[in-house]
Amino acid sequence: MSKKIIFQKCHFNNIYFLFYIIMDFINLLIEYKFTPDKNETKEPENKYYLAQQILINLYIYNLSDFVAIIPYLIRKKLMKKKEDIEVETEDKSNIDDSTTLIYNDNKELVYDHKKKSVKFYCIVISILDFLQKFPLVLYSIIYSDKVISSYSFSCYISFEIILQFICSHFILKIRFNKLQYFSLFLNLGLFIIILTFDLINILKYDSFDGKSFYFYIFNILFYSMEYSYVKQVLLYGFLSIYLFMLIKGCLLLILVSVFSLIIFLTKKDVVSRIGYFLTNSPFKWLILAKVFSNFFLSLFLWIIIDRYSPNYYPFVLIFDQFFVLLLDKFIDSTEYNTMGFDLYIRIFLNIISTIGVMIHNEVVVINICNLGSDTKYFLDIEVKSEELFAKTSDPEIIKRYDSFNEMEEFTDEKINTVEAEGEKTSE
């Protein structure tokens, strides 16, 4: 094929990426408004930061899962109506079905085994869901005088992409071909370059707290594993996305309750500060908006993972980081003490990293140095070509294949031999 770069066709399901990006911006905008007024509290912002992290990352996030009960009940009612119609249709038909059904005990065992696996995975997902939020809260507990922050375009994008690919490979057994390895090493190279910028900014310019790196690493590790296990649960097909969110919310509530009890016994001042957010009118509306924005953000994420794979999630990472940069600039007016010139390099490198994600997921297929030879795109073309060759009798089509050329050479050689033998006989 003469084309070196092939773009796959867009599908209607791609609209969920747009929905996720829109909700991500709304969600971050609400979160940036969760800042107490210094004149009202008469205390520094960082005194309320731990209470803010617990409220947003644990309580509101957990509560948003229970919003799924509304679409779950609607879906259940619609399915009940559909089943009633189907039963009524079957009753009206007087078809005598004398087919003998054979009971398959093995099938029942497989069904039970998968159901037990789903229950186990739901528990694992809930624990990972709690653990991915906990490092950010833990940082605020240990360093109560600091506000966790990271440079908006940092090495986290490439690191998240690499970790998500690796988790999907080992948990979901997603096979890597040449193009996937190319994408993996591309992101690894970009990660090293941007990490170098980060280390210079931390060590030389003291732009942000380097210790936050360790907490972010665990945050990314846990949710990368979580997304892979979510895909595993959705593949079994026993749970709808809404029922899955409800089950996860119930299990997560247990972990959040245990954590809340520990906080109440050890840091009672945090409880009063959480109460400040719950009793002030502006924050009540923000909490309500945050609950629903979190629900839709999670919903679109699970739909993307269900219809594609966790490896598609990194598509939206660069937008998330870009929104953080905008909101830091225009709402918080945050200024980072950095090298200054590296922002545009970071943006450029992260755009390349996102293109690497497109290559990994074969949205873009590179037909250079035989990289795309074992991709689904080329394998499908090969299958279609073989089907066409098997069915056709058109010599022009057959000539495209080496097997025809070999057959033609063999036939010419055989004809020449027969003619030579015929001449000898006549003589």
> At how many degrees (to 10) do helices 342-360 and 317-327 cross?
160
Place 275 in a pLDDT band, splitting at 50, 70 and 90. confident
| DSSP β-bridge partners for residue 7 | 364
Higher pLDDT, 201 or 329: 201
Tokens 């003589």 belong to 427
**How high is the mean pLDDT of the chain?**
79
Closest CA to 10 of 376, 383, 364: 364
Please state, as a whole number, how many other Cβ atoms lie within 10 Å of the Cβ of residue 336.
Answer: 17
Q: Over 90: is that where the pLDDT of 244 sits?
A: yes
- Provide the sign of the torsion angle of the four alpha carbons 353, 357, 363, 368, taken in this order: positive
Least confident interval from 37-51, 305-319, 395-409:
395-409
Q: How far is residue 346's CA from residue 197's CA, in Å, rounded to a whole number?
A: 9
Q: Which helix (H) or strand (E) holds 20?
A: helix 15-32
**pLDDT value at residue 94:** 52
Q: What angle do CA 318, 134, 277 make, to 5 degrees?
A: 90
Tokens 């594609």 belong to 308
**pLDDT value at residue 210:** 78
Q: How far is residue 250's CA from residue 66's CA, in Å, rounded to a whole number?
A: 8
**pLDDT value at residue 27:** 92
Least confident interval from 96-105, 142-151, 256-265:
96-105
- Provide the sign of the torsion angle of the four alpha carbons 184, 189, 192, 195, taken in this order: negative
**In the structure encoding, which two tokens stand for residue 82, read together?**
């559909």
Place 357 in a pLDDT band, splitting at 50, 70 and 90. confident
- Provide the sign of the torsion angle of the four alpha carbons 324, 226, 297, 49, taken in this order: negative
For the CA atoms of 83, 88, 92, 94, the dihedral, rounded to the nearest 10 degrees, stands at 40
> At how many degrees (to 10) do helices 268-279 and 241-266 cross?
130
**pLDDT value at residue 367:** 75
**pLDDT value at residue 212:** 82
Q: Do you know the residue count of the chain?
A: 427
Place 26 in a pLDDT band, splitting at 50, 70 and 90. very high
Place 399 in a pLDDT band, splitting at 50, 70 and 90. low
Question: What's phi and psi for 366, nearest 5 deg?
Answer: -95, 120
**pLDDT value at residue 225:** 94
Closest CA to 377 of 7, 11, 78, 47: 7
pTM above 0.75, yes or no: yes
Domain positions in the chain are 14-91+104-367, 392-426
Higher pLDDT, 328 or 299: 299
Least confident interval from 10-14, 252-256, 409-413:
409-413
Q: Over 70: is that where the pLDDT of 185 sits?
A: yes
Using one digit for the tens of pLDDT, what is the confidence trace for 335-344? 666 666 667 7
User: What's the distance, Cα to Cα, between the start and end of the chain in Å?
Assistant: 52
Side-chain-side CA neighbours of residue 111 (13 Å): 6
Contact of 236 with 118, CB cutoff 8 Å? yes
Least confident interval from 35-44, 226-235, 293-302, 341-350:
35-44
Q: Over 90: is that where the pLDDT of 150 sits?
A: no
Q: Over 60: is that where the pLDDT of 126 sits?
A: yes
Higher pLDDT, 56 or 114: 56
Place 24 in a pLDDT band, splitting at 50, 70 and 90. very high
**In the structure encoding, which two tokens stand for residue 7, read together?**
């773009």
Higher pLDDT, 406 or 109: 109
412, burial (CB in 10 Å: exposed 0-12, middle 13-18, buried 19+): exposed
Using one digit for the tens of pLDDT, what is the confidence trace for 381-395? 666 666 666 666 666
Least confident interval from 29-33, 113-117, 252-256, 274-278:
113-117
Burial 367-390 (b: 16+ CB within 10 A, else e): beeebbeebeebeeeeeeeeeeee
Higher pLDDT, 85 or 295: 295
Q: Over 90: is that where the pLDDT of 303 sits?
A: yes
Contact of 248 with 122, CB cutoff 8 Å? yes
**In the structure encoding, which two tokens stand for residue 27, read together?**
């969600």
Higher pLDDT, 106 or 210: 210
Q: Over 50: is that where the pLDDT of 285 sits?
A: yes
Q: How far is residue 163's CA from residue 216's CA, in Å, rounded to a whole number?
A: 13
Place 25 in a pLDDT band, splitting at 50, 70 and 90. very high
Closest CA to 363 of 17, 1, 2: 17
Q: Over 60: is that where the pLDDT of 418 sits?
A: no
Least confident interval from 85-99, 172-186, 245-259, 370-384:
85-99
Q: What is the DSSP string of 359-382?
A: HHTTSEEE-STTTTTTSHHHHHHH
- The residue-averaged pLDDT of 323-327 equals 79
